[in-house]
């Protein structure tokens, strides 16, 4: 049964501007060290940062306003094949267990100027 659905769109240049303005302070507030490392291994780290930010926002929309979530409790990871997934840490992980969320489906995409993410929660 579907518990919630969320979608978010991020302009890649906006992510670049924010990172250039606030630097490491912003990155550490929003992303885990694993996410930062992964993104900066890419040719265009801002594209990867933007879709990960979109995924975090999409997950927050999917759970609604039931809980305040730290963005670093939401970690976008990739399987060996490259398929993205969400790892829920901290307070978010506890919340999802209590709500019996068994599956977090994640889809990421980007095209030129924008990155988009869709999250579906199933219980």
Active site residues: 61, 110
Helix (H, G, I), strand (E, B) or coil at 84: strand
Distances (CA, A) of 71 to 1, 7, 80, 92: 25, 16, 24, 10
Query: d(Cα 12, Cα 45) in Å, to the nearest integer?
Result: 10
Q: 57 - beta bridge partners?
A: none
**Are 3 and 123 a contacting pair, CB within 8 Å?**
yes
Strands 84-88 and 103-111, sheet pairing: unpaired
Q: Which two tokens stand for residue 9?
A: 């769109």
């Amino acid at each position: 049964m579907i518990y919630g659905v969320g979608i978010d769109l991020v302009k890649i240049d906006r992510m670049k501007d924010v990172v250039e303005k606030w630097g490491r302070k912003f990155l550490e507030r929003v992303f885990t060290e694993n996410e930062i490392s992964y993104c900066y291994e890419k040719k265009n780290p801002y594209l990867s940062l933007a879709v990960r930010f979109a995924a975090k926002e999409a997950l927050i929309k999917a759970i609604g306003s039931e809980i305040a979530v730290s963005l670093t409790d939401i970690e976008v990871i990739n399987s060996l094949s490259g398929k993205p997934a969400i790892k829920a840490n901290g307070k978010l992980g506890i919340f999802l267990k209590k709500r019996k969320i068994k599956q977090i489906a994640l889809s990421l995409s980007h095209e030129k100027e924008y990155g988009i993410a869709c999250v579906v929660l199933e219980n």
